Amino acid sequence: MAVTSPRTISTMANKTVYPSMNENRASRNPREALGFCLGIVLVGALIQLFGAMKGDALVFPGVDVILQAFGKLIADSHTWILVGTSLRHLLLSMLIATAVGLTVGLAEGLSDFLRALFRPLMNLLRSIPMIVLVVIIMVLMPYPRVPVTASSLILIPIISEAANEGCRRIEPELIDVYKLNSGLNPRILTRVYLPLMAGYLRQAWINAAGMGLRLAISTEYMVQTRDSLGKAIYSSSYFNEYQDIYAYALIMILLVLLIGEAPSLIGRFISSRRVK
């Protein structure tokens, strides 16, 4: 029987299609774009409706006031410093969550014993309320480290579950092929397991990035992190500048959309370069 090299296995892995959690999502078309724009109009109409019901233009300012505040914030260079701080917290938390989540997920996928061992801890991190976790971390470590630590701990189960699922879904035939070559080592992990798990990990990273940004900003709000979006939102609420709160919310929405679309845009760009 011919022995297949890890490079050949890696090529087989890249050609093998494994569905991600949302792989069946329909391709975008003009009708969906129109629906998205109408959804934005609906949000603006709801804000106006709530403002009319409440009768308080301070808490529910007009859409034109919110857009003016949004334009003012976008033009302010300090806003980009705030965005940079929050994105830095997101990047660090994603790196930590990816390193720990991949390790735990691979261990769970390769061993039923380790899966049972880590399951209570992962369930705890997945189910514990964020406010409780943040308060515990605030007691244990300095405030500047809380946004990264809290976000990474909550994101670890997302990455680990994707890695575990992707590892267990690998076809046994491919695993038998690699066993003929060598035991489990970093080369096999990077050339065999990770390519086969890529579909699951890709969607998990997209979901974790969007959630991680919201978590980072929420914890920044709670611990008053200097020069961050969370701190800016707290200051706006303290001074009753609700139009700025809505404007910051728009910035957060745009960031989440950008982060969610970035992987597909990068993939299309790389594919177009390869075609050329």
pTM of the model: 0.76
The whole-number pLDDT of residue 200 equals 81
Question: Would you call 39 exposed, middle or buried from its count of C-beta atoms within 10 A (0-12, 13-18, 19+)?
Answer: exposed
Cβ within 8 Å of residue 177, ≥6 positions away:
4, 9
Amino acid 178: pLDDT: 63
Task: Tell me what pLDDT residue 263 has.
Answer: 64
Confidence (pLDDT) at 169:
81
Q: What is the DSSP string of 60-113?
A: S--HHHHHHHHHHHHH-HHHHHHHHHHHHHHHHHHHHHHHHHHHHHHHHHH-HH
Q: DSSP readout, 223-275?
A: HT-TTSHHHHHHHHHHTT-HHHHHHHHHHHHHHHHHHHHHHHHHHHHHHHHHH
CA angle 147, 149, 152 (to 5 degrees): 100
| pLDDT < 50: residue spans in the chain | 1-4, 6, 9-10, 12-27
Give the model confidence (pLDDT) of 197-253 as tens digits: 777 888 888 888 888 898 999 999 999 888 999 999 999 988 888 889 989 988 888
Domains of the chain and any CATH numbers: 83-265 (1.10.3720.10)
Residue pair 92/150 in contact by the 8 Å Cβ criterion: no
50 three-state secondary structure: helix
